[in-house]
Chain A
């Protein structure tokens, strides 16, 4: 964890017991909610829009803009739902877990603020089933909120009901996709649905539903406290506030860091306040900046601000901000094969390009890894990637496997070619049981 000034998302880091309500309140907790409740829902939505809050689950979509998609209450008389995506499953990502375990009330307060803005009375927090300890912590915090009148029939004494329910997932990466998540809440297999209709218009049980990531909602209390102008100063004109980054791999000090949005990838890896460099005696070989769905960057590509727009410009993406740092001991063929296997496993199977393409790419890579690769395999892989991506599937998992694999195969092509020529791994390397 950063020794530097904690940012806005991790402002309560190091406060013992802040996952419990009395301590959270001591840190001025729930004052932002009191202030938000004095605003009209319309003004609150405008504030969020002006603050350029970008969703932090992976897509970076404008939160205020999404909220404005909800049909006006005088036009559509259906309940509005809020679904919190705590299904953190993108490899390399563990920032939401930090919030759930260490500062759950910041998320719960964000839920209450969002619910008021959206005039939503029922929120579901979808937590992945593996997170047994975070689930208990969150349920305790929710209980505290009910007892304190923050949740329940009269939020903070206002004539406004809010019920918050934890919905425990049961093992499926694809439930992190918003429509997969909603289908799972409805009791179905978590297979994504076609968009449009978008959840904001037609989500849970056909009703307008806003899906937001844990960190996105945790933004709301500090945003209300600071106000839009100060919030934007912490970022830039395309997104405000500080941002949590999960950094792992071959660094000296892995962990969750809360940094200004435009911190550079180089700073995160080498900075004294961040990961303090590659592990002793090793050198950087590549970095996956935003979870396994993001294209890998080479050492000469790390002078890039860690923003949604800058990384997109660099041919990658911020995604879930799950940064994985890889040094020269890394076998890129092995990593690519393992990444391919992840997506092949997690494909829900609905769409032919993804179902067949993900498995096919994994088998080709495994063949290369096991010494059965052919010279034509790399071009075949690139061809398959082109066939499965770009809107041919119900959800973006196909793109999520094509993009990173393309980057591995093009940026580290000699390694793959060497495997094929050599007929297997370099001497001394162990082949993983993929």
Chain B
């Protein structure tokens, strides 16, 4: 079945479109809308956006591929983006990253086989005053400890033996 925005998304896009003097200007908002409704930006989703906005498809592709927050493949249920930039690093960010890696059995940059979890090392999230920090899907988790990471993993279904929780992975 062809991808299509529900009516409320079409209305939202129409409203947004009026704020930009060119159709191209509405590409980023349209891609966010597509990611929200379709889960990720498949080639089909990008072509749909191009058709809707009446812009050449390569304009949509170049935007979608330049920006890192647009998913080009189905996102994990729990997408962890942990900061390892300066402040987070000197306050233990890498230790926490390794903890998460061991818990999940994957390296940073990888997803678990069932796509339940994806772990990424990212750049500054502007949480330096509450470092170390990570973004979990749409929310921030700050002042991180191994226990806090374990709590998030458990929230998304990872089994962690009670005796191990909060300790070294």
Contact = CB atoms under 8 A, between A and B. Distances in A.
Contact of B86 (A131, A329, A335, A345): A335
B67 A186 contact: no
Given A129-B32, A255-B129, A430-B94, 12 more contacts: A90-B124, A91-B85, A168-B32, A185-B28, A189-B62, A190-B67, A191-B66, A248-B131, A254-B129, A322-B128, A324-B128, A329-B90
Given A247-B129, A324-B128, A339 B86 contact: yes
A246 B129 contact: yes
A146 interface: no
Interface residues of B, number: 48
A88 B126 contact: yes
A250 B24 CA distance: 45
A187 B129 contact: no
A433 B94 contact: yes
A169 interface: yes
A172 B65 CA distance: 11
Nearest to A122: B19
Contacts of B108: 433
A271 interface: no
B89 interface: yes
A91 B32 contact: no
Interface in B1-48: 16, 19-22, 24-29, 31-32
Interface string A330-357: 1000110011001001100000000000
A171 B67 contact: yes
B86 A91 contact: yes
A274 interface: no
A190 B64 CA distance: 11
Nearest to B131: A248
Given A92-B128, A170-B32, A188 B87 contact: no
A168 B29 contact: yes
Contact of A133 (B84, B129, B140): B140
Contacts of B130: 254
Interface string A396-434: 000000000000000000000000000000000010110
Contacts of B164: none
Interface string A297-310: 00000000000000
A94 interface: yes
Q: How large is the interface on A (under 10, 10 to 19, 20 to 34, 35 or more residues)?
A: 35 or more
Interface in B52-103: 55, 59, 62-63, 66-70, 81, 84-87, 89-91, 94-95, 97
A28 B70 CA distance: 41
Nearest to A334: B89
A246 B128 contact: yes
Interface in B102-155: 108, 121, 123-131, 135, 138-140
A88 B24 CA distance: 24
A126 to B, nearest CB: 10
B69 A338 contact: no
A185 B67 CA distance: 13
Contact of A163 (B19, B28, B91, B125): B19
Contacts of B22: 186-187, 205
B60 to A, nearest CB: 9
B104 to A, nearest CB: 15
